[in-house]
Structure formats: C-alpha cells, structure tokens
Amino acid sequence: MESKIESKYDCLHNHLFKFIIVGDSCVGKSCLLMRYASDQFTESFVTTIGVDFSVRVIELDDKIIKLQLWDCAGQERFKSIVTSYYKGAHGVILTYSITNRLSFDNIKNWYVDCKNKCNKNVNFMLVGTKLDLEKNREVSHKEGEELAKQLGANFIETSAKLDIGVDIVFTELAKLTMNTFIIPKLKAKEEEKNNINLSNSTNFSKNKKFKCC
Ligand SMILES: Nc1nc2c(ncn2[C@@H]2O[C@H](COP(=O)(O)OP(=O)(O)OP(=O)(O)O)[C@@H](O)[C@H]2O)c(=O)[nH]1
Ligand SMILES: [Mg+2]
C-alpha cells in the first residue's frame, strides 16, 4: 500500500533534484534540514549516524520539483560512508557555524571533497548557521561573502532556531539547478525540434519543385 502511494506521488513531479548538506559536526546541518522539511527545531544535539534523508516538494517556474535532501554526518568516522552519497548530487550546501572558526576553516576541505566526487556542474551554496548567536560570532559576514566568491558559491547566513533564511537556501539552490541542469537541456531539445521541422519543410519544398517540373 505504502509503495503504491509513494509511486503515485513520484509521478507528480516534473524534476527531481538531489542536494547534499555537508560541514563539520554540530554546525547545525540536521536542524537546518528539520526546519526546512518539517518546520521544527530542537535544542538537543543528536549527532547524525552516516546519512539521513528528507524530501520536500516545491513549485518553481510552474514546475513541480521534488527535492531529495541528504543530510551527511559531519563526524570524521563517517567520512567514507558519507562520500559515497555525493554521486549524482545537483547541489551542495556547505555549512559552517558563525560561532565556530574551525568549522569555517574546514569549508575548503568539504568543498574539495565534493568537487572531486560530485557532478561536474554541481552548484554550491555556502551557509553560515546559528545567526541568532550573534554575541558568540567568530566569523564575520564579510569573511563568509569572500569565501563564497572564491568558491563560486552563493552565500547566506541562517538561523534554524528563529527560521531566518532557511527557505532561501533551498529555493536558491533549486533555481541554480534549474538554470544549470534543466534549462540548457530544454533549449537543446527545442533547437533539435526546430531543426527537424526546418529540414522537413525544406524537403517538402524541394519535392514540390520536382513535381512541378
Ligand atoms: N542557537 C542555535 N542553535 C542551533 C541552530 N541550529 C542548530 N543548533 C544547535 O546546534 C546543535 C547541533 O545541531 P545539529 O543540526 O544536530 O548538528 P549537525 O551539523 O547535524 O551535526 P552532525 O550530525 O554531528 O554532523 C544542536 O544542539 C542544535 O540545537 C541555530 O540556528 N541556532
Ligand atoms: Mg546531523
């Protein structure tokens, strides 16, 4: 019964995007996802074992997009399991906590890992979490912006606790994915169709001329 419902639900989307969320342990990856997927937040810390998975369906440019969201554990001991989930990702959410300098310094390592193992055209969002803890800030907004520029990523600071900027992370990444992976394919298909029509009409006029003579 459950699989029937799932397969019916699967038919309802136009596109499926796979996003992974990576970064050091305790930066707030699971909380970001929990806020986005089920509008909840918890103060207690339960470290992710391996990977967790959520789904959210959104509408973008009149299309239904199913977002497959993979929450990757930040702890080093899960690294080899986690990296096996990078394959096929359309988007990467690189997370650090604005209250933790080391998590920011480690972003470059997460970036290199993903760059090596993900799709060639994968898009990156750099996300500074725990914006509500301004008094404990160790990484300035400007530093975040500069790193994002270096990595060719979009940048935003968020608070899962106060629900600030969370939706933007995912909708921006979905828009980037649409522009990188979907629109070029649709344009190529359209061009191919036009070329076929054009060559058909040329053949038709050639044939016509032949008959007349
Ligand atoms: N104040 C505040 N705390 C947050 C926020 N997001 C997460 N936290 C807290 O940070 C801790 C770690 O959050 P998680 O989301 O479990 O961290 P994680 O990055 O998934 O960690 P791993 O699963 O070990 O990789 C928890 O105690 C959360 O309550 C936030 O926006 N503001
Ligand atoms: Mg987690």
- The domain total for the chain is 1
pLDDT bracket for residue 1 (50, 70, 90): very low
Task: Please indicate, yes or no, if residue 210 is contained in any of the structural domains.
Answer: no
**Ligand 2 centroid to residue 207 C-alpha, Å:** 67
Query: Distance between CA 73 and CA 68 in Å, rounded?
Result: 16
Query: Distance between CA 150 and CA 129 in Å, rounded?
Result: 19
Query: Which range of residues forms the domain containing residue 88?
Result: 7-192
Task: Please indicate, yes or no, if residue 87 is contained in any of the structural domains.
Answer: yes
Q: Average pLDDT, stretch 161-168?
A: 98
Is the pLDDT at 108 greater than 90? The verdict is: yes
Q: Is the pTM of this model over 0.75?
A: yes
Task: Please indicate, yes or no, if residue 211 is contained in any of the structural domains.
Answer: no
Residues with CB under 5 A from ligand 2 (ion): 29-30, 48
Q: Average pLDDT, stretch 189-194?
A: 82
Is 30 a pocket residue for ligand 1 (Cβ < 6 Å)?
Answer: yes
Q: Average pLDDT, stretch 194-198?
A: 77
Helix axes 166-177, 29-38, angle to 10 degrees: 80
Give the pLDDT confidence score for residue 190 in this predicted structure: 83
Query: Distance between CA 126 and CA 110 in Å, rounded?
Result: 11
pLDDT bracket for residue 5 (50, 70, 90): very low
pLDDT bracket for residue 183 (50, 70, 90): confident
Q: Where are the alpha helices (DSSP H) in the chain?
A: 2-11, 29-38, 79-83, 101-105, 107-117, 141-151, 166-177, 183-212
Domain CATH for 170: 3.40.50.300
Is 204 a pocket residue for ligand 1 (Cβ < 6 Å)?
Answer: no
Task: Give the pLDDT confidence of 83-94 residue by residue, as tens digits.
Answer: 999 999 999 999
Is 130 a pocket residue for ligand 1 (Cβ < 6 Å)?
Answer: yes
Task: Please indicate, yes or no, if residue 171 is contained in any of the structural domains.
Answer: yes
Q: Average pLDDT, stretch 10-39?
A: 94
Is 199 a pocket residue for ligand 1 (Cβ < 6 Å)?
Answer: no
Q: Average pLDDT, stretch 147-156?
A: 98
Order of strands across the sheet that contains 123-129: 51-60, 63-72, 15-23, 91-97, 123-129, 154-157
Give the pLDDT confidence score for residue 205 in this predicted structure: 56
Task: Please indicate, yes or no, if residue 1 is contained in any of the structural domains.
Answer: no
Probe ligand 1: pick from 20, 27, 31, max atoms within 8 Å of CB? Answer: 31
Task: Give the pLDDT confidence of 32-70 residue by residue, as tens digits.
Answer: 999 999 999 999 999 999 999 999 999 998 999 999 999
Is the pLDDT at 9 greater than 70? The verdict is: no
Is 74 a pocket residue for ligand 1 (Cβ < 6 Å)?
Answer: yes
C-beta separation of 50 from 142 below 8 A: no
Task: Please indicate, yes or no, if residue 201 is contained in any of the structural domains.
Answer: no
Is 128 a pocket residue for ligand 1 (Cβ < 6 Å)?
Answer: no
